[in-house]
Amino acid sequence: MKLATFESGNTLQLGAVEGETIRPLGFAGTMIDLIADWDAKRDSIARAAASAKAVPLASVHLRAPVLRPGKIFAIGLNYADHIAESKMETPKHQVWFTKAVTAINGPFDPVQVPKAGPFVDYEVELVAVIGKRGRHIEPDQAAKHVFGYCVGNDVTERFWQHQTPQWSLGKSFDTHAPIGPWITTRDEIPDPHALGLRCIVNGETRQNSNTRHLVFNVWQQIAHLSKAMTLEPGDLIFTGTPGGIGAAMDPRQFLKAGDKVRCEIEQLGAIEATFVAEE
């Protein structure tokens, strides 16, 4: 299924997306509530979706599928071509940073060029959404802990990222974690390591790669993170970005108000933001 969080009128709802339509699930709770109870709810949800009246996707406002994840972790330097353009060595250990949960943004909502930091860049990424909670998850069990996948843009303020050794502030400005357009459940994505992904800025393709080029794959990422902490339903893992970032272009290119950035991943759909100056 493709599960979305959307607004219609003034109410927030969950829905199942089919083609250009969405069917409200009539579920009283958040996406995280649904994910946490998915094994028990999935059949009744599928029935509810099948009997609900489909409305055009274009008539609703899609919000971030998970509005308030418990945590957002993101891995750095995880595609060979991005490591090379960053003039870094392939890391022996996984390099993790967090993004603030307040950075979450809808799939088609505006993204801010912050007053405090105009050096804004894009990073298209496969995002894994955790389903089943767990600690010390072995790589060969990791798939069972994934609820599904969506597209993310790990929007980054490069000056803030690099003015200190710790990247988290430069990765955590408000609106800088757009995700969506919905969650595609993992039964529809038998191999998350075979998905083409692209980032297109004002019609120009800047990043164009495939998740088969991940240095540490999704299962290794889940195993490593869960050695340290319990992963919970709705937690988000940004799995790394391929080469082609604006900061590595010659001359360097940063995003400015009016720019349109589209991030797309095979089978998962596309998100697209217009960048705007922070009010």
CB of 197 to Zn ion, least distance (A): 12
CB of 276 to Zn ion, least distance (A): 22
CB of 154 to Zn ion, least distance (A): 3
Contact 246, 126 (CB under 8 A): no
Q: How far is it between the farthest Cα atoms of the chain?
A: 54
Side-chain-side CA neighbours of residue 65 (13 Å) = 32
Contact residues: Zn ion, CB under 5 A? 123, 154, 241
Give every CB contact of residue 10 below 8 A, 6+ residues apart in sequence: none
Q: Quick one: 59 or 166, whose CB is closer to Zn ion? A: 166
CB of 78 to Zn ion, least distance (A): 8
CB atoms within 10 A of CB 64: 25
Closest residue to Zn ion: CB criterion = 154
Contact 124, 236 (CB under 8 A): no
CB of 79 to Zn ion, least distance (A): 10
Q: Quick one: 95 or 257, whose CB is closer to Zn ion? A: 95
> Which residues is 150 bridged to in the sheet?
127
Q: Quick one: 13 or 217, whose CB is closer to Zn ion? A: 217
Q: Quick one: 15 or 76, whose CB is closer to Zn ion? A: 76
> Which residues is 72 bridged to in the sheet?
236
Q: Quick one: 42 or 193, whose CB is closer to Zn ion? A: 193
